[in-house]
Amino acid sequence: MAEPDLVVRVADERDEAALAGLRRAWLEERCGHPVDDPGFEAAFAQWWRLELPRRTFWLAEAGSERSGWTAVGSINVVEIGQMPRPGARAGRIGQVGSAFVLSGFADRGVAGALLARAVEHARERRYRRLLLAPTGNSAPFYRRAGFASAGESLLVLDPTAVPD
Cα dihedral sign for 17, 21, 49, 118? negative
The answer, yes or no, to whether residue 121 has pLDDT greater than 60, is: yes
pLDDT of residue 151: 72
Lowest model confidence (mean pLDDT) among 36-40, 112-116, 152-156 = 152-156
pLDDT tens figures, 74-93 = 999 999 999 988 988 888 99
pLDDT tens figures, 136-162 = 788 899 999 998 888 765 656 566 777
pLDDT of residue 78: 96
DSSP string, 94-142: EEEEEEEE-GGGTTTTHHHHHHHHHHHHHHHTT-SEEE----TTTHHHH
pLDDT of residue 154: 61
The answer, yes or no, to whether residue 3 has pLDDT greater than 70, is: no
The answer, yes or no, to whether residue 96 has pLDDT greater than 60, is: yes
